Amino acid sequence: MAGADERMLLTTPFHSRVAAACETNCWGNWKGYTTPNSYIDVELEYFAIRSTTGVFDLSPMGKYRVTGPDAEAYLNRLITRDVSKIREKRVGYTVWCDDEGQVLDDGTIFHLGPNDYRICAYARAIDWLLWSAEGFDVCVEEETQNVAALAVQGPTSCAALMAMGLSGLDALKPFGIEYFDFEGEQLMVSRTGFTGDLGYELWIAPEKAEDLWDRLFAAGAPHIIKPFGMEALEMARIETGFIQAGVDFIPAEETIRQGRSRSPFELGLDWLVDLNKPVFNGRKALLDEKSRGSRYRFAILDVAGNKPANNSFILKNGKQVGVVTSAAWCPTAKTNVALAQLEMPHGAIGEELVAEIYYQRELHWTKVNAPCKVLESPVFDPPRRRQTPALPY
Amino acid sequence: MTDYDVLMVGAGHNGLVCAHALAKSGRKVLMLEAGDVAGGCAATREFAPGFSVSSCAQWLTQLSPRVMDSMSLVDHGLQFAARDLASVSLAEDGDHLVLRGAKLEGANISAEDQLAYEDFSARMMRFTKILAKAFSTRAPKLVESNFADRLTLIKLGLGLKLLGKNDMNDLMRIILINMYDVMEENFDHPRLKALLSLDGMLGSHMGPRSPNTVFGYLYRRVGNLFGYDGPAQLRGGMGALADAMVASCKAAGVEIRCGEAVASIDSEAGQVTGVTLASGEQFSGKLVVSNVDPVTTFQYLVGYRNLETGVVRSVSNIRNKSGTAKLHLALSGLPSFAGLSAELTGHRLVIAPDMNYAERAFNAVKYSEYSKEPVMDISIPTVNDPGLAPDGQHVISAIVQFAPHEPEGGWDGHRQAFTDIVLDLLERYAPGIRGLVTASELLTPQDLEKEFGMTGGHWHHGELSLDQVMMMRPFHGANQYSTPVNGLYLCGAGSHPGGGVMGLAGLNAANEIIKRVGAA
Ligand SMILES: Cc1cc2nc3c(=O)[nH]c(=O)nc-3n(C[C@H](O)[C@H](O)[C@H](O)COP(=O)(O)OP(=O)(O)OC[C@H]3O[C@@H](n4cnc5c(N)ncnc54)[C@H](O)[C@@H]3O)c2cc1C
């Protein structure tokens, strides 16, 4: 799929269908692939995710296959979680760190079968993954281009997929994996996603990508299925409190300046770190951080008013104590949400702060000091996200 | 079960120095050594019936006087067979160039070169003083606001300041270039230039034009400050040093077990827990000190699986490619080198006619080939120490550069060919020598790796180059003898300041351990 000209962005296996559906012709660059920022209208796409079904082409996501007798041991040394707790046909969200306990990336580990795993990651990770393989009896291969993937997200997603013939899908639990036959090819479905709603991710050989798209949209039509782009995804993920690598933190290998990377504790991901594991990358540093205290705290803020607090400084008694890394007005929760990095000790639940929001109209800049408050949990977290069997909306 | 405060892996000379100091600090020390005798590369071995030779290091050029004194080595039997030997750069026509202290003789050496050498040597000694200071203590940390370390940095800075502006600029300039250019700047005589540049290349994977050779040269000249105005030879070969050190260690209460290879350095949750021998026997302990080279220590003994990826990356990046072989010959009589006085035969004999010759010798090893015309650093130890061979007979011990770790197809098919190359070369300088050879032994880098348990077989357990010295030795994160594994320390040539029979790595390591772990 490399372009004729090496400077050209790559296209995904769904490109013919994506391009046909992309009415706005508004494209972005996702790790070297050309991907739509929007298809028709960002709000409409967002509401498809929240009210019916939205479809997102996630083929550019970095995918790495880990196989061999030491696969589990290898992953346990690589990531912060206890991999043995991710059973077969299950998926686990995780982060991985460098030796300084700084987050290299977040992603998901798919336990596909005995000694067989897939890592999905934002950053290109093969170099680090191969270095980490020294001393282990494993085979680590990049398979980003070998697997086409779609996210199918929203309340009617299960119904749409069952209408396409995936019978029994409603029984699949969150973070579960199931295999189906798709025109003689294996279709892997995981109940995962980046929207915080009921939703699935579909994984298939690139040759079948276009057929899959066609059949999915045909079967999903009665369930009001629509493709969505990066911008709608951004709204949904902020609403549900998911952090984004490269936005809410800079992968440690990409930082140049001292102190610009973050530890999992500083990103609110303590629950992913199992310090009882004897050896894993960053363990020593994270133990130190535990006893010394972290520099920053991640916070979800409810910001007064409806001006998104993008790039705002966060103030306490007029003094800057943090910055906003992501912000959006969230239509479903009807909340103005901001994800922020606050200097310790700020960011305790309920703490009241001020967001210094700058915005302009026709080059006229205005500053608003919007009160905001640290939330205990994300503003969007519907029960249907976890309900099994999934309900046919 | 353990009754030991410290478990030491390997009993090379640095290990012995370290063990001695730790025992003196009141600790109970057990040394586990894979070889049949202690000493590591400081060894004497009978390679043919009745013929013994220093089986690795042959010249004592830089043993720290602090080590000599603290271990009372003379009281424990150490004797010199010869000291302050001259270096003779051999000529096929017999018009040899002799360097004795700072004096040059023969080979039509010009008065200008003589003066230039005296000036050069004085300048190098000023630079060397700074290094010697830095070598006598742990390396400063890279980034850390630790008071003691900053003091070292200041001391280092002070030393540089004392140099004066011109000298400092000159040091900063030449340390980044190479021996070839520095020699061309200073001297005319081809053999003088080659002789000095050889000192910058010895044991390294470098030719005269390689960067880092100036550091290598200065490193060697540190020996002058330690009282060596030229190489020295120990009575009984380099193994005599090991014997004296072993005696000193035993007197201090160190227990040494030879023939016990350590199979693994055990750790749990980043803390060392002991060692397991190849025999299966286990010793538990919270303090383990490894004299083994860093790559072997981390890759094979600790195991990459028990280390974090960044450490693995650092260890894998250590450059430890060697190009140095050792040749041992048993001779039925004293060879006669054309034009060489009987007196000089017992000195250091060098074959390196000019710098391009040396550079060509190095070229081969870049492509895993051996030199068609190698450079050689030859010792006939039996001249000064007849006891190493039967009456009237002799041995030769020679450092031969360059030989690859493994030539194409393996050494089996090349061993004789390379030996012949070296013998033919010797024959050109000492006609008839081939007829005297009754036995020979060639130790390639691969053989040295196996015999002394050092990955790569490198003289310094890892190249001595600016990216791998001081606070970068062996790598950032293990640069003050402590390692990423709590309780595991390094004390060998792979750590600061580096290799050669010097003893400072071992001594500095012991001091650091005592400082960190406290008095026993
Ligand atoms: C060919 C050659 C010529 C040299 N010539 C000179 C010279 O003329 N002058 C000079 O000053 N220097 C010379 N050197 C350098 C010098 O010999 C070394 O730098 C120095 O001896 C290293 O000492 P060490 O104690 O740090 O390590 P070593 O002497 O290497 O000691 C390490 C010890 O660990 C042991 N060991 C390894 N693995 C295990 C295991 N698994 N379990 C238990 N024990 C283990 C080894 O057997 C060894 O005894 C030469 C080096 C080479 C290779």
- In short, whether B454's Cβ falls inside 6 Å of ligand 1 is yes
pLDDT classification of B163: cutoffs 50, 70, 90: confident
Cβ–Cβ < 8 Å for A186, A211 = no
Nearest chain A Cα to B485, which residue? A284
Q: With a CB-CB cutoff of 8 Å, which residues 52-71 of chain A face chain B? A: 70
* Phi then psi dihedrals of residue B316, to 5 deg: -65, -25
Contacts of residue A202, defined as CB under 8 A and 6 or more positions apart, other chains included, come to: A149, A150, A151, A152, A161, A187, A188, A189, A212, A216
Query: Chain B partners of A280 at a C-beta cutoff of 8 Å?
Result: 308
Is residue B158's pLDDT more than 80? no
pLDDT tens track for B4-61: 999 999 999 999 999 999 999 999 999 999 999 999 999 999 999 999 999 999 999 9
Distance CA A160, CA A222 (A): 8
Q: Which of A99, A278, A280 sits opposite B311 (nearest CB)?
A: A99
pLDDT tens digits for range A298-309 = 999 999 999 999
HEC profile of B113-137: HHHHHHHHHHHHHHHHHHHHHHHCC
Between chains, do B304 and A284 touch, taking CB under 8 Å as contact?
Answer: no
Atom of ligand 1 nearest to the CA of B260: 43
Contact B268 A278 (CB under 8 A): yes
Specify the ligand 1 atom closest to the Cα of B460: 19
Residue tagged 């990423």 (tokens)? B484
Q: Measured over all CA atoms, what is the biggest interatomic distance in chain B, rounded to whole angstroms?
A: 69
Examine the pLDDT at B150 and tell me if it is beyond 60: no
Ligand 1, atom nearest to B502 Cα: 11
> What's the average model confidence in pLDDT over B404-414?
97
What is the model's pLDDT at position B162?
A: 74
Residue A4: the pLDDT is 54
Please tell me which of the candidates B268, B303, B309 has its beta carbon nearest to residue A99: B309
Q: Could you state, in order of their start, the residue ranges of all structural domains in chain A? A: 15-59+147-228, 295-379
Six-digit token string for A215: 């059949």
CATH number belonging to the domain at A15-59+147-228, selected among 3.30.1360.120, 2.40.440.10, 3.30.420.40, 3.10.129.10: 3.30.1360.120
Determine what percent of chain B is predicted with pLDDT higher than 70.
96
Chain A nearest-CA residue for B298: A135
Confidence of residue B1 (pLDDT cuts 50, 70, 90): very low
Measured by CA distance, the residue closest to atom 10 of ligand 1 is B500
pLDDT band at B470 (very low <50, low <70, confident <90, very high): confident
pLDDT of residue A1: 45
The answer to whether the beta carbons of residues B366 and B381 sit under 8 Å apart is no
Q: What is the mean pLDDT of chain B?
A: 94
Residue of A nearest to B313 (CA): A131
Contacts of A283 in chain B (CB under 8 A): 269-270, 308
Q: Which atom of ligand 1 is nearest to the CA of B62?
A: 11
Q: How many A from CA of B349 to the centre of ligand 1?
A: 23
DSSP state of B174: H
Between B148 and B441, the higher pLDDT residue: B441
Question: If you average pLDDT over residues A317-336, what whole number do you get?
Answer: 95
**What is the pLDDT averaged over residues A56-79?**
98
Pairing state of beta strands B80-82 and B233-234? antiparallel
Q: What 3-state class would DSSP assign to B515?
A: helix
- Could you tell me which residue, B157 or A373, shows the higher pLDDT? A373
β-sheet bridge partners, residue B105: B98
The shortest C-alpha distance from A33 to chain B (Å) reads 29
> Over pLDDT 90: what percentage of chain B?
88
Average pLDDT over residues B188-200: 98
Out of A131, A279, A280, closest to residue B313 by CB: A131
CA-CA-CA-CA dihedral for A163, A175, A253, B146, to nearest 10: 160
Q: Which residue of B has its CA nearest to A78?
A: B309
Nearest-CA distance from A330 to chain B in Å?
Answer: 40
- pLDDT (average), residues B242-251: 98
Q: What is the per-residue pLDDT across B382-396, written as a single tens digit (0 to 9) for each? A: 999 999 999 999 999
Ligand 1 site, residue B14, Cβ cutoff 6 A? yes
B471 pLDDT higher than 90: no
In sign, the C-alpha dihedral spanning B341, B347, B352, B355 is negative
Report the pLDDT value the prediction gives residue B479, as an integer from 0 to 100: 86
pLDDT at A384: 94
Residues B306-315 pLDDT 10s: 999 999 999 9
Extract the tokens encoding B380: 């006939």
Residues 6+ apart with CB under 8 A from A16: A210
Chain A residues in contact with B316 by the CB 8 A cut-off are 131, 134
Distance from CA of A73 to the nearest CA of B (A): 8
Closest to A347 (Cα-Cα) out of A257, A255, A265, A242: A265
pLDDT of residue A2: 46
Residue B373 CB burial class (10 angstroms; 0-12, 13-18, ≥19): middle
User: Stretch A117-135: mean pLDDT, rounded?
Assistant: 94
Sort out which chain A residues have CB atoms less than 8 A from B308's CB and list them: 77, 99, 279-284
**Residue B191 to residue B94: CA distance in whole angstroms:** 13
Min Cα separation B414/chain A (Å): 32
Chains A–B, number of C-beta pairs less than 8 Å apart: 52
Averaged confidence pLDDT in chain A: 95
pLDDT surpassing 50 at residue A15: yes
A positions 171-190 inside 8 Å of B (CB): none
B102: left (phi over 0), alpha (psi -120 to 50) or beta: alpha
Contact: B309, A136; criterion CB under 8 Å:
no
Q: Which of A100, A135, A282 sits opposite B305 (nearest CB)?
A: A135
- The total of other beta-carbon atoms located within 10 Å of residue A257's CB is 7
Alpha carbon separation from A162 to A192, B16, B76 (Å, rounded):
16, 74, 87
**How close are the terminal C-alpha atoms of chain A, in Å?**
38
3-class secondary structure, B431:
coil
Strand pairing class (B6-9; B29-33): parallel
The tens digit of pLDDT for each residue in A211-233 reads 999 999 999 999 999 999 999 99
Q: Which of A73, A99, A131 sits opposite B305 (nearest CB)?
A: A73
Are B308 and A78 a contacting pair at CB < 8 A? no
> What pLDDT, on a 0 to 100 scale, did the predictor assign at position B155?
61
Q: Look at phi and psi of residue B272 and say left if phi exceeds 0, alpha if psi is from -120 to 50, else beta.
A: beta
Q: Has residue A253 got a pLDDT over 60?
A: yes
Could you give the CA distance from residue A342 to residue A324 in angstroms, rounded to a whole number?
Answer: 9
* In the predicted structure, residue B518 carries a pLDDT above the cut 80: no
Three-state DSSP state, A130:
helix
Q: What is the pLDDT of residues A135-194, one digit of tens each?
A: 999 999 999 999 999 999 999 999 999 999 999 999 999 999 999 999 999 999 999 999
- In this prediction, residues B338-363 reach a mean pLDDT of 97
Measure Cα distances from B285 to B256, B273, B321, B353 in Å: 16, 5, 33, 53
Whether A281 has its CB under 8 Å from any CB of chain B: the answer is: yes
- Cα(B264)–Cα(B305) distance, integer angstroms: 12
Mutation target vs A (from B309, B317, B475, B488; most A CBs, 10 A cutoff): B309
Mutate to test the pocket of ligand 1, among B37, B41, B302 (most ligand atoms within 8 A of CB): B41
Beta bridge partners of B490: B290
The interface pTM score, or ipTM, of the predicted complex is 0.91
Cβ proximity of B487 and B302 under 8 Å:
no
Spelled out in words, what is the top-level CATH class assigned to the domain A295-379?
mainly beta
When CB atoms are compared, the residue of B268, B306, B310 closest to A99 is B310
Name the pTM for this structure.
0.94
Q: Determine the average pLDDT of the residues in B184-209.
A: 98
Residue B148 clears pLDDT 70, i.e. is over it: no
Cβ distance of A281 and B309 shorter than 8 Å: yes
Could you tell me which chain B residue has the CA closest to the CA of A279?
B269
Residue whose C-alpha is closest to residue B92's, from B285, B339, B286, B260: B339
Distance (angstroms) between ligand 1 centre and the Cα of A12 equals 57
B309 neighbourhood in chain A, CB within 8 Å? 77-78, 98-99, 128, 131-132, 281
- Residue A388 corresponds to which tokens in the numbers above? 């099994």
Which are the contacts of A59, defined by CB distance < 8 A and separation ≥ 6?
Answer: A12, A13, A14, A33, A144, A147, A148, A149, A150, A206, A209
First-residue to last-residue Cα distance in chain B: 19
